[in-house]
Amino acid sequence: MGEWSRSVIPIARGLCLLYLTNKYLGTTVITYGPSMLPTLNITGNLVLVERISTRTGKLRPGDVVIFRSPETPRKIVCKRLMGMEGDQVTYIVDPKNSDRCKTIVVPKGHVWVEGDNIYNTKDSRNFGAIPYGLLQGRAFWTLLPRKDFGSLAPKPR
């Protein structure tokens, strides 16, 4: 092998390992916006996301998840998982204008997600239950800002 291939092969292997780690094990995500206040900051948090739970079916209501937006597929969204398929979920239809509640049963192959800040979020109350296949992973640890460093523990319903 030539000099060129001896330097390129380790770089290619490293990039392949990085890709596989990001795709199948975990990654970091920057979240921002008001929908997850007070759990996550409006100005942004850097969170660790593991991708194993979505493949093994280990997600539970209360987990913070990231998923592809059902309305804008290029956009990744962060919300709290409120119900799995078959679960009965009661939610406030329009929290800004009334306290009228509605109860639904999450359809097979879907999950129900809501932002922690019910007054300023676009979630399953707007676009309905999302297909399980849109889930990308479970956020479990906040890295930045330093004051928020620590576990993103599930919040009970």
The CATH number covering residue 98 comes to 2.10.109.10
Per the residue annotation, which of 35, 69, 124, 147 is the catalytic one? 35
98 is catalytic: no
Query: What pLDDT, on a 0 to 100 scale, did the predictor assign at position 23?
Result: 87
Within a domain: residue 156?
Answer: no
Which pTM value belongs to this model?
Answer: 0.88
Residue 157 lies in a domain: no
pLDDT on residue 97 = 87
Q: What is the pLDDT of residue 1?
A: 58
- Residue 35 falls in the annotated catalytic set: yes
| Structural domain boundaries enclosing 55 | 3-151
pLDDT tens across the length of the chain (157 residues): 567 777 788 888 989 988 988 888 999 999 999 999 999 999 999 999 999 999 998 999 999 999 999 999 999 999 999 999 999 999 998 888 888 999 999 999 999 999 999 999 999 999 999 999 999 999 999 999 999 999 987 876 6
Given the residues 53, 79, 98, 108, the one annotated as active site: 79
Q: Report the sign of the C-alpha dihedral through residues 95, 98, 103, 104, in that order.
A: negative
